[in-house]
Amino acid sequence: MLSFRVENRKLKATSRPRPKLRPGWARVRVRFVGICNTDVELLHGYYNFRGVPGHEFVGTVEELRGVSAAQKKKWLGRRVCGEINISCRALGRRHVCNFCRRGLKTHCAHRTVLGIIGHPGAYAEYLTLPMENLHIVPDGIRDEKAVFVEPLAAACEILQQVDVGKFREAAVLGDGKLAQLIARVLETAVPRVVMYGKHEKKLGLARRAGIQTKKVRGDASDLRRVKENFPLVVEATGSPNGLALAQHITEPRGTIVVKSTFHGTAPVETWPIVVKEITVVGSRCGPFAKAIALLRSGKIDPLPLVTRIFSLASAREAIGYAQQPGVMKVLLKT
Ligand SMILES: [Zn+2]
Ligand SMILES: [Zn+2]
């Protein structure tokens, strides 16, 4: 099968046998892959990563191992997306870790992560995942939408962590791919959502989805220029400057949700957290079922966020294109 590996900060095409299966695992024929900023960071040396990247996918279940006939009937040939954290039980460990025992599989002490840590990802014709990670994609959701389930689930994680229904308004800092999904998710539960971003075109995408927008410069001058305050602020700029602005515009006793995972340090003073008694919540992977339900209901349509679709064979060109200014989601089709 064709796959692409990150090696020495380059994406290289390789041909290798189809992956073998452990009991309880599935082999999935990849249909579409989404290029995530994390993939770009892995390419640039984040996590000292070597291997096949890609964790946003939709595919078809092609083979299963060690499952009942009923399970086979249910899953074979079905379109699926998959949770990316692979935890103790699926890894075949006799003793499950404390976090798995508490039901926190995304924080498993021994976890591998599809296309990020220790498990080959979706920039390939086939991938493997434990059955317990898979979710069936309903027929009404086409591939180009289903490939957004993973990042949309990450946006939905905020709904699990914060009782957003009690807020009348919220701000989203950032206008990139994840910020766009977060703003759309908040918009389903909070009466007024305002996106602060640097890029007029990207802010325009948000406005077309009914989200208010404000343009900022993305530097320290924003601290003087932005006057509004919010009880809930989501930092999704992907930039070291975002957290300082988030603190600045958060009300006393407000909540900041931190979503950016840029590599490096953020230059922030922490006194505003103390003085305003701000709650800071880190937020990562989220509930797939909720993301699938939002796509199915039509409440969220991610298609306007797709800038371009490449073939898997053009993955190198595609990841280069994904880093161009103004480009939103780039997909690979196998
Ligand atoms: Zn991602
Ligand atoms: Zn575990």
CA of 39 to the centre of ligand 1 (A): 7
Pair 322, 38: CB distance under 8 Å: no
202 to 179, 241, 297: CA distances (angstroms): 10, 19, 24
Whether the per-residue pLDDT at 11 is higher than 90: the answer is: yes
Measure the CA–CA gap between 298 and 204, rounded to whole angstroms. 20
Whether the per-residue pLDDT at 263 is higher than 90: the answer is: no
Task: Please give the helix or strand (H or E) that residue 183 lies within, else none.
Answer: helix 177-187
Cβ within 8 Å of residue 303, ≥6 positions away: 144, 145
CA of 133 to the centre of ligand 2 (A): 14
CA of 103 to the centre of ligand 2 (A): 9
Predicted local confidence at residue 176, as pLDDT: 96
Measure the CA–CA gap between 18 and 92, rounded to whole angstroms. 21
8 to 139, 164, 190, 324: CA distances (angstroms): 40, 43, 45, 21
Average pLDDT over residues 3-17: 95
Whether the per-residue pLDDT at 253 is higher than 90: the answer is: yes
- Closest-approaching ligand to the CA atom of 53: 1
- Closest-approaching ligand to the CA atom of 176: 1
CA of 113 to the centre of ligand 2 (A): 12
Please report which confidence band the pLDDT of residue 22 belongs to, taking 50, 70 and 90 as the band edges: very high
Q: What is the pTM (predicted TM-score) of this model?
A: 0.96
Average pLDDT over residues 263-277: 90
Tens of pLDDT, residues 132-151: 999 999 999 999 999 999 99
Tens of pLDDT, residues 53-112: 999 999 999 999 999 999 999 999 999 999 999 999 999 999 999 999 999 999 999 999
Whether the per-residue pLDDT at 129 is higher than 90: the answer is: yes
What percentage of the chain exceeds 70 in pLDDT? 100
CA of 54 to the centre of ligand 1 (A): 8
CA of 325 to the centre of ligand 2 (A): 39
Please report which confidence band the pLDDT of residue 297 belongs to, taking 50, 70 and 90 as the band edges: very high
CA of 43 to the centre of ligand 1 (A): 13
The per-residue pLDDT of the chain, averaged, comes to: 96
CA of 262 to the centre of ligand 1 (A): 12
Predicted local confidence at residue 47, as pLDDT: 81
- Closest-approaching ligand to the CA atom of 103: 2
Whether the per-residue pLDDT at 268 is higher than 90: the answer is: no
CA of 136 to the centre of ligand 1 (A): 19
Whether the per-residue pLDDT at 261 is higher than 90: the answer is: no
CA of 115 to the centre of ligand 2 (A): 18
Tens of pLDDT, residues 305-314: 999 999 999 9
CA of 93 to the centre of ligand 2 (A): 8
Tens of pLDDT, residues 166-208: 999 999 999 999 999 999 999 999 999 999 999 999 999 999 9
Q: What share of the chain is helix, strand, coil (3-state, %, to 5)?
A: 30, 30, 40
Predicted local confidence at residue 264, as pLDDT: 82
Burial of residue 262 (CB within 10 Å: 0-12, 13-18, 19+) is middle
Predicted local confidence at residue 265, as pLDDT: 85
Whether the per-residue pLDDT at 23 is higher than 90: the answer is: yes
Predicted local confidence at residue 257, as pLDDT: 98
- Closest-approaching ligand to the CA atom of 91: 2
Vertex 188, ends 183 and 192: CA angle to 5°? 65
